[in-house]
Amino acid sequence: MSNKMWGGRFASAPDRVMEEINASIGFDYKLALQDIEGSKAHVSMLAATGIVPVADAEAIAAGLDEIRREIETEKFTFSRALEDIHMNIEARLSELIGPAAGRLHTARSRNDQVALDFRLYTRDTIDTLDLQLRDLQQALAEKALAHAGTIMPGFTHLQVAQPVTFGHHLLAYVEMLSRDRGRLADARARLNECPLGAAALAGTSFPIDRFATAKALGFEKPTGNSLDSVADRDFVLETLAAASIAAVHLSRLAEEIVLWVTPQFGFVALSDKFTTGSSIMPQKRNPDAAELVRGKTGRIFGALNALLVVMKGLPLAYSKDMQEDKEGTFDALQSLSLCLAAMTGMVRDLEPDVARMKAAAGSGFSTATDLADWLVRTLKLPFREAHHVTGRLVARAAEKTVGLEDLSLAEMRDVEPRIDESIYTVLGVENSVASRTSFGGTAPENVRAQAQGWLDRLEK
């Protein structure tokens, strides 16, 4: 028999394969609460405009509340035969209140219904992700404040470059996450228009009040074009793009944690909470949480690319291809949420090896730039000449296998006779980081101020 919810045009049931490829209830059940929220706003508007009787609207609202309770208590039965979340809820509503349930779908289509549900879901998820990003920022800023003076090597090309502080390094990610929050906020602002009332694609002849439903659902306003309302998913693409960039930042931090916990680096340690062992090598402590954050980034990228491919060739308005917009999005945003929770836990858990970091910071002649800057500042050498002099001093220190600060004054004067004892005030990793007082620099006093400033802003 045909589907009783839409089958008037059809004399027989769909083929089993057709049912298999067509059904979306296996994943769009996640939109259940948004679907009920949208339906309650819709039927309230229908009653207010006189399109449906008030008594029927009240019965529908009560039935929807009962369905919500069933879903929240896991007593609701989802049926593949009813295709999607919209039909499942409407069918159950018919069982609960009878024929009045049929009035709910007046002046709307599944096209604007799903567009609404998906916007509500995406908006709710952005709000959750924003809170998680804030929590991670706070964890990083707290750790940065505690280690504002902890010296570590700064790298370029993964080679020791100049000394920085651990707090300064962590605050770099606070800045990145702030931009991630900004991108998600921008996406939220643009999606915050209500498509309900666009119907299938052309609007409706019923005297609906789209501004009322938009206001009831917390949207800024209704969408302005009925075709665009049901046909585009750029709000999902923008959210996935922002999520992908956030995932890049998490993955980079995860990669650094993976490196830092190796015996070769030995910069930080993670507790048993965020590591696992080996089934064969009892000595192992593997940073699996960090590795999984790094790995799940690919799933988030994949969802964005998949939806771009789905949407790129679709003529207006709705096509069934767009059913493929949800599964990847649900997975990607859930993955990002899980990664944020794991990363926040790891940041709070990790403990730096202060002595190991400081020793590493002094390797590779990391204060060479400080020496060159001193030559420019004190002896007024052009920087290129200072660079050359410093290079010769580095070569001499390398021959003797000592640090620059261990060269004698005589040895330095052999390369540049005007060097005096004040050169030693800029050599050594403590002097180096303390001198970087420019705004945004790694001087501990800067880091303390920046970290506290972030904590104050995040508290607000």
Q: Catalytic residue positions?
A: 157, 278
Q: CA-CA distances (angstroms) from residue 229 to 34, 222, 224, 289? A: 17, 9, 8, 40
Return the H-helix or E-strand segment holding 196. Answer: none
- Exposed/middle/buried for residue 102 (C-beta within 10 Å: 0-12, 13-18, 19+): middle
- Exposed/middle/buried for residue 427 (C-beta within 10 Å: 0-12, 13-18, 19+): buried
Q: What is the residue type of 164?
A: V
Distance CA(254)–CA(291), nearest Å, equals 7
Distance CA(110)–CA(455), nearest Å, equals 45
Compute how many other C-beta atoms are within 10 angstroms of the C-beta atom of residue 459.
Answer: 7
Answer yes or no: are the C-beta atoms of 454 and 174 closer than 8 Å.
yes
Q: CA-CA distances (angstroms) from residue 264 to 90, 267, 281, 303? A: 61, 9, 18, 36
Distance CA(261)–CA(356), nearest Å, equals 12
Answer yes or no: are the C-beta atoms of 24 and 83 closer than 8 Å.
yes
Q: CA-CA distances (angstroms) from residue 244 to 76, 100, 175? A: 34, 45, 16
Question: What would the two tokens of residue 346 be?
Answer: 């790891």
Q: Give, as one character, the DSSP assignment of residue 222.
A: E
Q: Give, as one character, the DSSP assignment of residue 423.
A: G
